[in-house]
C-alpha cells in the first residue's frame, strides 16, 4: 500500500503585472489613510457638524455606486488597461478639486470624483489579479492590499506632521494625485494582453463578452470563462459558482468596509475626547490601525494558501472586537494606539480575504461579482461614517463607537455562514480563495 505525497501549496508569482497593479492599491491606501483621519480636522476647518463631515463617506458611496455601473462597461469596451489608466487620471482630477475646495459642497464634489476613479481602479485591478493568479488569488489580493496599507501607513503621520507644521491636512492628501499619475504611466507601459486584454465576444453569446483566457501560474491549465460553463448561469450553484456562499461573503465584505471606514473617520475624534491629545497626535495614532492592517496582510496572504480563508476571515472579526475593547476603554494616547494596532490586525485581513472569497465563489463572473461588492461597499462607506458621526453629535463619540462591535459580530456570522454554505453547495471541494476559473 502506497501513500500519496500531499501536493505542495501553490506559490504566488510576483511578476511585472502584479507589482504594477499594486500601484493602484498604494494610491487608494494613501487616500483613505490620509483623508479619513483628516475628516474631524476638515469639520473644524469648515465649521460643520460631525454628521455633515460624515457626508464625505456618503460622497464616496455615490462614487462607488457610479463606479459599479461604469467598471464592467469600461472593461468591456476599453479593456482593463485603458480602464485603469483612465481611472487614475480621474483620481488626480478629484484630488485637485478636493484639496482646493473651501466649502462643503466643493469638498463633497471632489470626493465623488475621487471615489469614482478610485473604485473603478480598485475593482478593475482586483478582478485582474484574480484572473491573472487563479488559485493564488487570495494571496495576491491580500498582498496588494497590504502594500497599499503599508504605504498608507505614512498617511496619518504625514497629516499629523503637516498639521503640526501649520500647513493643515491638504498637502498630505494631495500626494494621492502624484501616486495616481505614476500608476497610470506604469499601467500604460504594460502589454494589453492576458488579464489586461480587451475582452473578445463569446461565440454564440450574442456579443456578450468576457476575457477569453485567464492567465495562470506555470503548469496550470488555462480555462476559458465561457457563457456555457457549468454552473455559471444565474441562480445556479454548479462547479463554477456557489450562490448562497457568495451572498454571505458579500455581507462580510460590506461589514468589513463599514468597520474600517467608520473607525478611520472617527477614531481621531474618540482619541481626542478620551485622552485629551492634540489634533496632530490624535490623527497620528490612526497610524497604529494602518500598521496592524499592513502587518497582518503580509501574514494572512500566504497563510490563506494553507488554512481555510473563511475560517481566517471569521477569526479576524473576533480580533477586531478585542482591539475595539482596548481602544474604547483607553484614557491615554499610548493605550489607544495599542488598541488601534490590535484592531488593525483584525481589520487588515477582512476585506482582502472577503473579496477573494466572494470572487472565488462567483466562478467566471468576477467583474460582475466585484461590481456587486462595490455597490454594497459603497453603501457601507456612505452610511457607516455618517451614522457614527450623527450618533457622536447626539450621544458623544464614546457611546457612538458601540456600533463597531455590532458590525464585527455581523461580519463574523456572515463569514462562518459563508463557509458552511460553500460546503453544502460544493461538498468535498475546498473553499475557494479567488479562483476565477
In order of start, what are the domains of the chain with their CATH numbers? 16-200+239-425 (1.20.1250.20)
Residue 373 grid coordinates: 461588492
Residue of 148 and 136 predicted with greater confidence = 148
DSSP annotation of 212 reads S
Mean pLDDT taken over the chain: 79
Strands 200-201 and 209-210, bridge-based pairing: antiparallel
Best-predicted range by mean pLDDT (152-156, 169-173, 399-403): 169-173
Measured CA to CA, the distance from residue 190 to residue 90 in angstroms comes to 19
At 238-263, the pLDDT tens digits run: 445 677 888 899 999 999 988 888 88
Count of C-beta atoms within a 10 Å radius of residue 300: 26
pLDDT score, position 150: 81
At 80-105, the pLDDT tens digits run: 899 999 999 999 999 999 999 889 99
**9 Rama sector, left if φ>0, alpha if ψ -120 to 50, beta otherwise:** beta
Residue 289 has pLDDT above 80, yes or no: yes
Say which residues have a Cβ less than 8 Å from residue 169's Cβ, sequence separation at least 6.
Answer: 34, 35, 38, 41, 42, 159, 162, 163, 283
At 291-335, the pLDDT tens digits run: 898 888 778 877 877 788 888 999 999 999 999 999 989 888 889
Number of residues written out for the chain: 437
pLDDT band at 12 (very low <50, low <70, confident <90, very high): low
Say which residues have a Cβ less than 8 Å from residue 259's Cβ, sequence separation at least 6.
Answer: 320, 347, 350, 384, 404, 407, 408, 411
Amino acid at each position: 500500500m502506497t501513500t500519496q505525497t500531499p501536493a505542495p501549496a501553490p506559490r504566488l508569482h510576483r511578476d511585472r503585472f502584479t507589482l504594477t497593479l499594486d500601484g493602484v492599491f498604494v494610491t487608494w491606501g494613501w487616500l483613505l489613510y490620509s483623508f479619513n483621519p483628516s475628516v474631524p480636522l476638515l469639520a473644524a476647518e469648515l465649521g460643520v457638524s460631525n454628521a455633515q463631515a460624515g457626508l464625505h463617506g456618503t460622497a464616496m458611496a455615490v462614487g462607488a455606486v457610479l463606479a459599479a455601473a461604469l467598471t464592467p462597461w469600461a472593461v468591456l469596451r476599453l479593456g482593463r488597461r485603458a480602464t485603469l489608466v483612465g481611472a487614475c487620471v480621474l483620481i488626480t482630477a478629484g484630488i485637485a478639486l478636493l484639496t482646493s475646495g473651501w466649502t462643503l459642497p466643493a469638498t463633497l464634489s471632489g470626493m465623488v470624483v475621487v471615489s469614482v476613479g478610485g473604485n473603478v481602479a480598485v475593482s478593475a485591478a482586483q478582478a485582474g489579479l484574480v484572473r491573472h493568479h487563479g488559485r493564488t488569488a487570495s494571496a495576491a489580493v491580500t498582498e496588494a492590499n497590504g502594500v497599499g496599507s503599508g504605504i498608507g501607513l505614512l498617511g496619518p503621520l504625514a497629516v499629523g506632521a503637516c498639521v503640526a507644521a501649520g500647513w493643515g491636512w491638504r498637502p498630505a492628501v494631495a500626494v494621492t494625485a502624484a501616486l495616481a499619475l505614476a500608476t497610470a504611466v506604469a499601467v500604460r507601459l504594460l502589454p494589453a494582453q492576458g488579464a489586461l486584454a480587451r475582452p473578445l465576444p463569446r461565440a454564440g453569446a450574442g456579443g456578450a463578452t468576457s476575457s477569453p483566457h485567464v492567465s495562470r501560474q506555470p503548469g496550470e491549465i488555462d480555462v476559458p470563462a465561457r457563457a456555457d460553463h457549468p454552473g455559471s448561469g444565474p441562480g445556479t450553484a454548479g462547479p463554477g459558482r456557489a450562490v448562497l456562499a457568495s451572498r454571505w461573503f458579500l455581507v462580510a465584505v460590506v461589514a468589513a468596509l463599514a468597520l474600517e471606514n467608520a473607525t478611520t473617520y472617527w477614531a481621531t475624534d474618540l482619541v481626542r475626547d478620551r485622552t485629551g491629545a492634540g489634533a496632530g497626535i490624535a490623527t497620528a495614532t490612526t497610524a497604529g490601525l494602518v500598521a496592524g492592517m499592513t502587518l497582518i496582510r503580509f501574514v494572512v496572504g500566504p497563510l490563506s494558501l494553507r488554512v481555510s480563508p473563511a475560517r481566517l476571515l471569521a477569526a479576524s472579526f473576533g480580533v477586531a472586537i478585542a482591539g475595539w475593547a482596548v481602544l474604547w476603554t483607553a484614557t491615554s494616547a499610548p493605550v489607544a494606539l495599542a488598541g488601534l494596532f490590535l484592531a488593525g490586525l483584525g481589520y487588515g485581513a477582512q476585506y482582502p480575504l472577503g473579496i477573494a472569497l466572494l470572487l472565488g465563489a462567483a466562478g467566471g463572473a468576477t467583474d460582475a461579482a466585484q461590481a456587486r461588492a462595490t455597490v454594497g461597499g459603497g453603501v457601507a462607506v456612505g452610511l457607516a461614517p455618517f451614522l457614527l458621526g450623527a450618533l457622536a453629535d447626539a450621544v458623544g463619540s464614546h457611546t457612538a463607537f458601540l456600533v463597531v462591535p455590532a458590525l464585527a459580530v455581523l461580519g463574523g456570522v456572515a463569514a462562518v455562514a459563508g463557509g458552511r454554505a460553500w460546503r453544502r453547495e460544493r461538498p468535498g471541494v475546498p473553499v475557494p480563495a479567488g479562483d476565477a476559473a
